[in-house]
Chain A
């Protein structure tokens, strides 16, 4: 049987990694564990498609949606979902310090193949599909947060409301290595709007010391200036080496399961529907019921923050959770978080439950759709 070694098609640099996973996680926006549509967004965080973050500071209000694709150039290239941002309250005159960017943060230990900060540092190529009602120039920044350095590229939206494929080449940086750990080392930022503190400089096409006025120096999209504005993106890929539109490797489409598994290093959710098992057994003491373990499908990046959404009371009609034991249900409003690690967490409840010390039970979310419980574990960067 013949064996063919797959070779990089890069015109400069490049690394052969035919069996490796994409550097970008969830680049096709297929996984959205938190929600598929969120309204009234005014601040920063991880709101919609897994791994994708927005920084938003006093620059309008937005709706985010995981938009199903049914036609168009992105659809024709295999992308069925996109991350869509719609402006719902405009701010056409942002204050100097206001800014709005969307992007991804990376662990340093996952970027060592770039060899940044060495004489063998690699060039990078970023590719993506983008669509907006506005035409103009968008700026994308690579920000090395270990060494406070940045480099950027720009893309031009030529036709309104049309999916266009963009490629940005980033030069190699022989200064400043990424730390080899699980902390944030790199941000890729698509600037969507900003105040004057982030404008007035020059979009750097060579790596330089981080400069605020360079971050959106070339951007003209100003997505926050009108409620008619929208911006959508999908098919994001990051390749090691310099590629053109004719040499760019195809997007590595993962199965949904593989994609989800990689997202779960950073975020997991339990419950979030009525009457669902939470995958844990309860154990009663004289004063409380302990539930666990809630085991994460993959070891998380760090011990996570546990966010617990409960119900509004301890009655069946208002409870967020229940423990079934001895052929009866203990309905109760919510849990508290107990021990947490990168592999599992425990939760407990000390009011609204009654059983004999040593009893066991099984946990589930409540029956009221208005009070449904969910437990979220977040180890995002």
Chain B
């Protein structure tokens, strides 16, 4: 469960097979910063509560990073 207040950054992730299809968002938050073994990938789905938290985070003025 991702709390928008603990999000540090959000990056677009592309499908490795074509390197252009957006497949999910990789989120860095307080938990992943505290434990570097954890990675969080949020589905692009309006019904996903973490996706909704990212949208609120963006509405607060933050920006999603483009993929590498």
Contact = CB atoms under 8 A, between A and B. Distances in A.
A44 B1 contact: yes
Contact of A320 (B37, B47, B50): B37
A72 B61 CA distance: 53
Contacts of B35: 309
B37 A338 contact: no
B48 interface: yes
B59 interface: no
A305 B23 contact: no
B48 A379 contact: yes
Interface of B: 1-3, 6, 13, 15-17, 23-24, 30, 35, 37-45, 47-51
Contacts of A14: none
Nearest to B3: A44
Contacts of B16: 287-288, 290, 336, 338, 348, 350
A267 to B, nearest CB: 10
A361 to B, nearest CB: 17
A307 interface: yes
A176 interface: no
Given A46-B1, A348-B16, A302 B37 contact: no
Given A184-B49, A288-B16, 14 more contacts: A46-B1, A182-B47, A302-B43, A303-B45, A305-B43, A306-B43, A308-B41, A337-B23, A338-B16, A339-B23, A340-B23, A348-B16, A378-B1, A379-B49
Q: Chain A CB within 10 Å — which of B2, B13, B16 has the most?
A: B16
B19 to A, nearest CB: 11
A338 to B, nearest CB: 6
Given A45-B1, A336-B41, A303 B47 contact: yes
The 8 closest A-B pairs by CB, nearest first: A302-B47, A303-B43, A337-B41, A303-B45, A45-B1, A305-B50, A306-B41, A340-B43
Contact of A340 (B1, B24, B38, B47): B24
A311 B24 contact: no
Contact of A183 (B3, B30, B41, B47): B47
A28 interface: no
Given A311-B37, A334-B39, A43 B45 contact: no
Given A45-B1, A339-B23, A340-B43, A305 B48 contact: yes
6 contacts: A303-B44, A305-B2, A306-B43, A307-B41, A311-B37, A379-B48
B23 to A, nearest CB: 6
Contacts of B48: 302-305, 379
Interface in A17-58: 43-46, 53
B41 A305 contact: yes
Contacts of B51: 305
Contact of B38 (A183, A288, A308): A308
A292 to B, nearest CB: 13
A334 B47 contact: no
A53 B45 CA distance: 21
